[in-house]
Amino acid sequence: DVKVTQSSRYLVKRTGEKVFLECVQDMDHENMFWYRQDPGLGLRLIYFSYDVKMKEKGDIPEGYSVSREKKERFSLILESASTNQTSMYLCASRGGSSYNEQFFGPGTRLTVL
Amino acid sequence: RKEVEQDPGPFNVPEGATVAFNCTYSNSASQSFFWYRQDCRKEPKLLMSVYSSGNEDGRFTAQLNRASQYISLLIRDSKLSDSATYLCVVYPGSGNTGKLIFGQGTTLQVKP
């Protein structure tokens, strides 16, 4: 079974803090994604990566950066957290023999005070 | 216009009812189509792929109409456990570097 894990289920940070969200997948997938999900807005793509050290901006990259130093790990960084970044963050991966199926992690509920 | 559009609902139906969701997509060159299911406070998971010939998985039937650019999901004999949000998903294909496009989701509530 594909497994995508995220470092925290719940996180509370203060405005201006630097926040790291970690995601790890165990299926050697090439593609990894970071989304945020807000009521009424659905899933919105922040950044994605199709290979180690490669990254592309999604639909809402402002205020975020990413890092992919190893194939299995994709990190989302909030350089200076703001209250409007309070959201559910979902990581996903895709690749291998089931190219079209995307596997999601359990999500991190981030609250910025 | 959004790339993938769905009626957010909620659809409130009694147990045993048949319910259908539609979804429209804007890119006529899109290659692959899916329905994902997301339970409350959980991550989305693949429910089924959608093929041009239509496909069925138990009580669930998915259909694709390329000419009209819409996808449908039919649920027969609804169960309480079918209550969830159903996400319509489109893979645009080449030149898109692998991104899936997600609709906002349609919420289904099945009542006893």
pLDDT of residue A100: 74
Residue B43 to residue A104, Cβ atoms within 8 A: yes
Q: Higher confidence at residue A16 or residue B1?
A: A16
Span A49-73, mean pLDDT?
95
Give the lowest-confidence range in A74-83, B22-31, B82-91: B22-31
Q: pLDDT for A64-79, tens place per residue?
A: 999 999 999 999 999 9
Q: Give CA–CA dist B16/A111, Å, rounded.
A: 39
Q: Could you tell me if B9 lies within 8 Å of chain A, comparing CB atoms?
A: no
Q: Give CA–CA dist B74/B51, Å, rounded.
A: 14
pLDDT of residue A10: 96
Tokens representing A56 are: 């592309």
Name A109's bridge partners.
A10, A88
CB-CB neighbors (< 8 A) of B49 in chain A: 100
Length of chain B: 112
Q: How far is residue A107 CA from its own chain's centroid?
A: 9
Residue at token pair 């079974």 = A1
Of A42, A56, A105, the CB nearest to B97: A56
CB-CB neighbors (< 8 A) of B102 in chain A: 42-43
Tokens representing A109 are: 């509920």
Residue A42 to residue B105, Cβ atoms within 8 A: yes
Q: pLDDT for A76-105, tens place per residue?
A: 999 999 999 999 999 999 986 556 789 999
Strands B70-75 and B19-25: antiparallel
Q: Higher confidence at residue A66 or residue A27?
A: A66
* Residues belonging to chain A with any Cβ–Cβ distance to chain B shorter than 8 Å: 31, 33, 40-43, 45, 48, 50, 56, 58, 90, 94, 100-102, 104-107
Q: pLDDT for B35-57, tens place per residue?
A: 999 999 999 999 999 988 889 99
Residue B18, pLDDT > 60, answer yes
Q: Give CA–CA dist B44/B53, Å, rounded.
A: 25
Residue A40 to residue B104, Cβ atoms within 8 A: yes
Instruction: Measure in Å the smallest separation between the Cα of B34 and chain A Cα atoms.
Output: 9
* SS3 category, A83: helix
The single-letter code of the amino acid at B65 is N
Size of interface A-B (CB pairs under 8 A): 42
HSE toward the beta carbon, residue A16, CA cutoff 13 A: 0
Q: Give CA–CA dist B61/B4, Å, rounded.
A: 19
Contact by Cβ (8 Å): B4, B25: yes
